[in-house]
Structure 1
Amino acid sequence: MTDWFTNLKNAKKSCINDKNLKKVHYELNDGRQLVEEYNTDTGVLTRRAWRNLSNLSNEEKWDIEIGDPEPTYNSKEEHAIKESSGQPFISRRNTRINLEWRIRNLPYPPEVYSVIVNPEEQCLVVKTSNKKYFKKIPIPDLSRLNIRLDQTKVSFTHKFNTLIIVYQKPKELLEFEKLLYKEISKIEPKNLEGVPDCRPS
């Protein structure tokens, strides 16, 4: 049993069932809050969001680790200068057997991309040979379990201006996810007001 599993097991937990989603809210011993959403048909984690101590004063501020980032809108900034919608941005996905990232708005041809494991920093390094794009992508799922990265588990494709990166889940992560889902299945669901929503209203 890993330290991370112990932390989650010992955390104060509550959950709700919303259609085919199971939403679990954790209050960790270090003060952080974590919300995870699972598809109950597949048992796959579809969303993970964090609220750290520094963000507790802002009820809407959640850091999205897995799932699409929420669109933000502020009427006071309607006419302000905004970052171009054409800038590359990353979203995380989680499937039964893979960790996936989608980097959108990358129009360069497929042959210029490379995705390399950096074992010292425990991250994926994405770059283009034309030096138009460079990004380090951490994999907290593996770092929390002290699982070393393996280049042979990395693959990627490029289509529709989107780079799709796939990292095959190692056995240790699959076993952890199975054990954790079994643990949260024991939680008695509350009503729909029992778990804070990690999505801005």
Structure 2
Amino acid sequence: MSDWLSKIKSSKKSSISQGNLKKVHYEFTKDVELVEEYNTDTEVLTRRAWRRKTHLGGEGDWDVEIGDPEPSALKKEGFVIRENNNQPIISRRITKNSLEWRIRNLPYPLEVYSVSADPETKSLVVRTSNKKYFKVLVVPELVRAGAVPNQESIQFTHKYNTLIITYKKPKEVVLMEKAVYEEVKKVESKSGDIDPNNCKPS
């Protein structure tokens, strides 16, 4: 059994459901919690977010791993300061057969980009030939499943100023996701309202 599956099995879990959405809250330790949201029709994960206590023991911000990132804003002296809307924004989603990244606000043509597998760090490396963008995309699913990325599984395209990267799931990831979802199905759900933009546990 993998370390990830062991953590899922041993964690304290609760769940809430609405329609075809099931939201599961995991408490691994008193300092680390995880929220996942599944589409029960497809059995595909639609959102995953982590929260860790701060060094001073306060509630930290939610770190979104799957799904659209939370808007970043800093309140200062009564004003709200937001990140530049022109900065590249990365969001992730999962389908039955692939892992997907969308990097918005990248205006360069398709031929400028390269996406390469880095087996040593289990990551994908995005570069542009004009040296305007560079990013290392860690692939947590590969790390958890003990799989190594390969170049043949990578595809990417570009449209509407967005670079879309697709990585075909290896067998190890598919099997792990199935095993985790079997654990998710065991968690008894209460009925209630689910806000997909709110990661606070039920």
Q: Please, what TM-score do these two structures have when normalized by structure 1? A: 0.89
SS at match of 2:145: coil
Q: Deviation of residue 132 (structure 1)?
A: 0.7
Asked if 2 retains the 8 angstrom alpha-carbon contact of 1:70 and 1:199, the reply is: no
Tell me, yes or no, if the aligned pair for 1:114 and 1:128 is still in contact at 8 Å: yes
Task: Indicate the residue corresponding to 1:128 in structure 2.
Answer: 128
Equivalent residue, structure 2, for 1:64: 64
What is the count of residue pairs matched by the alignment?
Answer: 197
1:52–1:157 distance in 2 versus 1, CA, 3 Å: same
Distance in 2 (CA, whole Å) between partners of 1:41 and 1:138 is 28
Report Cα offsets for 1:64-100 as digits up to 9, x if no partner: 0000012245664675664321111100011111100
Change (3 A) 1:77 1:96: farther
Q: Aligned partners of 1:172, 1:51: CA distance in 2, in Å?
A: 26
Unmatched tracts of structure 2, length 5 or more? none
* Distance in 2, Cα, partners of 1:30 & 1:172: 30
Match of 1:150 in 2: 150
CA distance in 2, matches of 1:70, 1:78: 20
Distance 1:77 1:163, change over 3 A: farther
Structure 2 matches for 1:17-36, cutoff 5 A?
A: 17-29=17-29, 31-36=31-36
Deviations along 1:100-130, one digit per CA (max 9) or x if unpaired, are 0000011111101000011122211100001
Tell me the equivalent position of 1:139: 139
Query: 2:107 matched to which residue of 1?
Result: 107
Instruction: Specify whether residues 11 and 80 from structure 1 end up closer, same or farther in structure 2 by C-alpha distance, changes over 3 A only.
Output: closer
Q: How far apart are 1:30 and its partner, in Å?
A: 7.3
Q: Secondary structure at the match of 2:91?
A: strand
Q: Which residue of 1 aligns with 2:199?
A: 198
Report sequence identity in percent.
56
SS of equivalent residue, structure 1 residue 54: coil
Deviation at 1:192, TM superposition (A): 3.4
Write the letter of the residue equivalent to 2:62.
W
* Equivalence for 2:183: 183
C-alpha distance in 2, partners of 1:123/1:137?
5
- 8 Å CA contact 1:48–1:65 kept in 2: the answer is yes
Cα distance, 1:53–1:73 mapped onto 2, change above 3 Å = closer
- Quick one: structure 1 residues 75 and 120, their matched pair in 2 at CA, closer, same or farther if it must change by over 3 Å? closer
Separation of aligned partners in 2, 1:154 and 1:27: 34
- In 2, are the aligned partners of 1:158 and 1:164 still within 8 Å (CA)? yes
Structure 1, 81-90 or 142-151: larger mean CA deviation: 81-90
CA positional deviation for 1:53: 3.0
Instruction: State the Cα RMSD in Å.
Output: 2.4
Cα–Cα, structure 1 residues 114 and 15, in superposed 2: closer, same or farther, change >3 Å?
same
Counterpart in 2 of 1:42?
Answer: 42
Q: Shift in Å at residue 190 of structure 1? A: 2.6
Are residue 166 (structure 1) and residue 160 (structure 2) matched? Answer: no
